[in-house]
Amino acid sequence: MVFLKLIGIALIAYLLGSFPTGYLLARARGIDIFRYGSGNIGATNVWRTLGPAFGLLALAGDVGKGAVAVYLGSRAGEWPAVVAGACALAGHSWSVFLRFRGGKMIATALGVFIMLTPGAACGSLLIWAFVFALSRYVSLASIIAAGSLPLLIAAFGYSWPYILFGAVAAGVAIYRHRSNIRRLLTGTEHRFR
Protein backbone atom coordinates (compact mmCIF):
# COMPACT_ATOMS: atom_id res chain seq x y z
CA MET A 1 0.00 0.00 0.00
CA VAL A 2 2.80 2.42 0.91
CA PHE A 3 4.65 1.51 -2.29
CA LEU A 4 1.55 2.14 -4.40
CA LYS A 5 1.08 5.51 -2.69
CA LEU A 6 4.69 6.43 -3.47
CA ILE A 7 4.21 5.43 -7.12
CA GLY A 8 1.10 7.62 -7.24
CA ILE A 9 2.98 10.58 -5.75
CA ALA A 10 5.84 10.09 -8.20
CA LEU A 11 3.46 9.99 -11.17
CA ILE A 12 1.54 13.10 -10.09
CA ALA A 13 4.80 14.98 -9.43
CA TYR A 14 6.19 13.96 -12.82
CA LEU A 15 3.03 15.16 -14.57
CA LEU A 16 3.12 18.43 -12.64
CA GLY A 17 6.77 18.91 -13.62
CA SER A 18 5.92 18.03 -17.21
CA PHE A 19 3.44 20.91 -17.50
CA PRO A 20 5.28 23.05 -20.10
CA THR A 21 4.55 26.54 -18.82
CA GLY A 22 6.87 28.47 -21.14
CA TYR A 23 5.96 26.41 -24.18
CA LEU A 24 2.22 26.94 -23.63
CA LEU A 25 2.62 30.67 -23.01
CA ALA A 26 4.50 30.99 -26.29
CA ARG A 27 1.96 28.81 -28.12
CA ALA A 28 -0.81 31.11 -26.90
CA ARG A 29 0.95 33.84 -28.89
CA GLY A 30 1.35 31.58 -31.93
CA ILE A 31 5.05 30.97 -31.31
CA ASP A 32 6.93 27.66 -31.14
CA ILE A 33 9.46 28.58 -28.45
CA PHE A 34 11.74 25.76 -29.61
CA ARG A 35 12.37 27.78 -32.79
CA TYR A 36 13.27 31.07 -31.09
CA GLY A 37 16.30 32.33 -29.18
CA SER A 38 18.07 29.53 -27.37
CA GLY A 39 15.29 27.08 -28.25
CA ASN A 40 14.63 26.50 -24.56
CA ILE A 41 11.20 26.52 -22.89
CA GLY A 42 12.50 28.25 -19.75
CA ALA A 43 11.69 31.70 -18.40
CA THR A 44 14.82 33.37 -19.82
CA ASN A 45 14.05 32.41 -23.41
CA VAL A 46 10.37 33.24 -22.95
CA TRP A 47 11.38 36.65 -21.55
CA ARG A 48 13.68 37.33 -24.50
CA THR A 49 11.12 36.16 -27.04
CA LEU A 50 7.82 37.45 -25.61
CA GLY A 51 8.85 40.09 -23.07
CA PRO A 52 9.07 40.40 -19.30
CA ALA A 53 5.40 39.74 -18.48
CA PHE A 54 5.45 36.34 -20.18
CA GLY A 55 8.92 35.61 -18.81
CA LEU A 56 7.73 36.23 -15.26
CA LEU A 57 4.65 34.07 -15.83
CA ALA A 58 6.88 31.25 -17.08
CA LEU A 59 9.15 31.68 -14.07
CA ALA A 60 6.23 31.63 -11.63
CA GLY A 61 4.73 28.57 -13.29
CA ASP A 62 8.00 26.64 -13.25
CA VAL A 63 8.84 27.53 -9.64
CA GLY A 64 5.26 26.83 -8.59
CA LYS A 65 5.00 23.37 -10.11
CA GLY A 66 8.17 22.27 -8.30
CA ALA A 67 6.92 23.65 -4.99
CA VAL A 68 3.45 22.10 -5.35
CA ALA A 69 4.91 18.69 -6.23
CA VAL A 70 7.06 18.66 -3.09
CA TYR A 71 4.20 19.91 -0.95
CA LEU A 72 2.01 17.04 -2.11
CA GLY A 73 4.82 14.54 -1.47
CA SER A 74 5.59 15.99 1.96
CA ARG A 75 2.11 15.14 3.18
CA ALA A 76 3.19 11.48 3.01
CA GLY A 77 6.61 11.99 4.62
CA GLU A 78 10.24 12.99 4.07
CA TRP A 79 11.16 10.42 1.43
CA PRO A 80 7.99 10.94 -0.63
CA ALA A 81 8.78 14.68 -0.66
CA VAL A 82 12.26 13.99 -2.05
CA VAL A 83 10.86 11.54 -4.61
CA ALA A 84 8.22 14.09 -5.64
CA GLY A 85 10.90 16.75 -6.09
CA ALA A 86 13.03 14.45 -8.22
CA CYS A 87 10.05 13.47 -10.38
CA ALA A 88 9.01 17.10 -10.86
CA LEU A 89 12.53 17.94 -12.07
CA ALA A 90 12.51 14.93 -14.38
CA GLY A 91 9.14 15.99 -15.76
CA HIS A 92 10.33 19.53 -16.43
CA SER A 93 13.46 18.32 -18.20
CA TRP A 94 11.84 15.44 -20.09
CA SER A 95 8.18 16.41 -20.44
CA VAL A 96 5.79 13.71 -21.61
CA PHE A 97 3.79 16.50 -23.25
CA LEU A 98 6.76 17.64 -25.37
CA ARG A 99 8.02 14.26 -26.55
CA PHE A 100 10.45 14.14 -23.64
CA ARG A 101 12.04 17.50 -24.35
CA GLY A 102 12.06 20.25 -21.76
CA GLY A 103 13.89 22.92 -19.81
CA LYS A 104 17.12 23.13 -17.87
CA MET A 105 15.58 22.71 -14.40
CA ILE A 106 16.74 25.90 -12.66
CA ALA A 107 13.37 27.54 -11.89
CA THR A 108 11.65 24.25 -11.09
CA ALA A 109 14.59 23.27 -8.88
CA LEU A 110 14.17 26.56 -7.02
CA GLY A 111 10.57 25.62 -6.25
CA VAL A 112 11.57 22.10 -5.21
CA PHE A 113 14.39 23.15 -2.90
CA ILE A 114 12.54 26.11 -1.38
CA MET A 115 10.16 23.48 -0.04
CA LEU A 116 12.80 20.88 0.90
CA THR A 117 15.75 22.99 2.06
CA PRO A 118 14.62 26.63 2.25
CA GLY A 119 17.80 28.05 3.77
CA ALA A 120 20.02 26.45 1.14
CA ALA A 121 17.65 27.41 -1.67
CA CYS A 122 17.63 31.06 -0.58
CA GLY A 123 21.43 31.03 -0.30
CA SER A 124 21.71 29.59 -3.79
CA LEU A 125 19.28 32.22 -5.10
CA LEU A 126 21.42 34.98 -3.58
CA ILE A 127 24.49 33.51 -5.29
CA TRP A 128 22.56 33.43 -8.57
CA ALA A 129 21.60 37.10 -8.16
CA PHE A 130 25.17 38.13 -7.30
CA VAL A 131 26.75 36.31 -10.27
CA PHE A 132 24.05 37.59 -12.63
CA ALA A 133 24.48 41.17 -11.42
CA LEU A 134 28.24 40.98 -12.08
CA SER A 135 28.19 39.07 -15.38
CA ARG A 136 24.70 39.55 -16.92
CA TYR A 137 24.89 35.88 -17.95
CA VAL A 138 21.82 33.94 -16.80
CA SER A 139 23.51 30.66 -17.71
CA LEU A 140 26.67 31.37 -15.69
CA ALA A 141 24.61 32.45 -12.69
CA SER A 142 22.49 29.29 -12.99
CA ILE A 143 25.51 26.98 -13.28
CA ILE A 144 27.27 28.50 -10.26
CA ALA A 145 24.07 28.60 -8.20
CA ALA A 146 23.37 24.94 -9.02
CA GLY A 147 26.92 23.96 -8.08
CA SER A 148 26.61 25.79 -4.76
CA LEU A 149 23.36 24.08 -3.80
CA PRO A 150 24.63 20.76 -2.36
CA LEU A 151 27.36 22.62 -0.45
CA LEU A 152 24.76 24.96 1.05
CA ILE A 153 22.46 22.04 1.87
CA ALA A 154 25.33 20.46 3.82
CA ALA A 155 26.29 23.79 5.44
CA PHE A 156 22.74 24.30 6.67
CA GLY A 157 22.85 20.89 8.33
CA TYR A 158 20.26 19.05 6.26
CA SER A 159 20.44 15.26 6.27
CA TRP A 160 22.30 13.17 3.68
CA PRO A 161 19.26 12.35 1.47
CA TYR A 162 18.87 16.08 0.82
CA ILE A 163 22.58 16.54 0.20
CA LEU A 164 22.62 13.61 -2.24
CA PHE A 165 19.50 14.83 -4.02
CA GLY A 166 20.96 18.34 -4.23
CA ALA A 167 24.19 16.99 -5.72
CA VAL A 168 22.38 14.88 -8.33
CA ALA A 169 20.01 17.73 -9.26
CA ALA A 170 22.96 20.14 -9.55
CA GLY A 171 24.88 17.69 -11.74
CA VAL A 172 21.95 17.20 -14.10
CA ALA A 173 21.24 20.94 -14.26
CA ILE A 174 24.87 21.72 -15.08
CA TYR A 175 24.93 18.95 -17.69
CA ARG A 176 21.82 20.40 -19.31
CA HIS A 177 23.72 23.71 -19.61
CA ARG A 178 26.54 22.12 -21.63
CA SER A 179 25.75 24.15 -24.78
CA ASN A 180 25.81 27.31 -22.64
CA ILE A 181 29.16 26.25 -21.17
CA ARG A 182 30.58 25.85 -24.68
CA ARG A 183 29.33 29.32 -25.64
CA LEU A 184 30.71 30.83 -22.42
CA LEU A 185 34.12 29.31 -23.16
CA THR A 186 34.12 30.61 -26.74
CA GLY A 187 32.74 34.04 -25.79
CA THR A 188 29.56 33.63 -27.84
CA GLU A 189 27.03 33.32 -24.99
CA HIS A 190 24.35 36.03 -24.97
CA ARG A 191 24.28 38.49 -22.09
CA PHE A 192 20.89 39.36 -20.63
CA ARG A 193 20.01 42.99 -21.48
pLDDT at 29 (0 to 100): 93
Helix (H) or strand (E) holding 126: helix 118-135
Q: Residue 106 pLDDT > 80, yes or no? A: yes
CA dist 190 and 193 (Å) reads: 9
Task: Kindly report the number of other CB atoms within 10 A of residue 91's CB atom.
Answer: 28
Which run of H or of E encompasses 175?
A: helix 160-176
| Helix, strand, coil abundance in the chain, percent, nearest 5 | 80, 0, 20
Mean pLDDT of the residues in the chain? 95
Model confidence pLDDT, tens digit, residues 32-81: 999 988 889 999 999 999 999 999 999 999 999 999 999 999 999 889 99
Residue 1, pLDDT score: 63
The average pLDDT across 148-154 equals 98
For residue 57, the tally of other CB atoms under 10 A from its CB is 18
Q: What is the model's pLDDT at position 91?
A: 97
pLDDT of 152 > 90? The answer is yes
Q: Does the structure show a pLDDT above 80 at 3?
A: no
pLDDT value at 148 more than 70: yes
Residue 4: pLDDT band (50, 70, 90) is confident
Question: In the structure, what pLDDT confidence band is assigned to residue 110 with cuts at 50, 70 and 90?
Answer: very high
Give 154-168 pLDDT, tens digit per residue: 999 999 989 999 999
pLDDT bucket at 6, cuts 50 / 70 / 90? confident
Res 75: pLDDT: 92
10 residue type, one letter: A
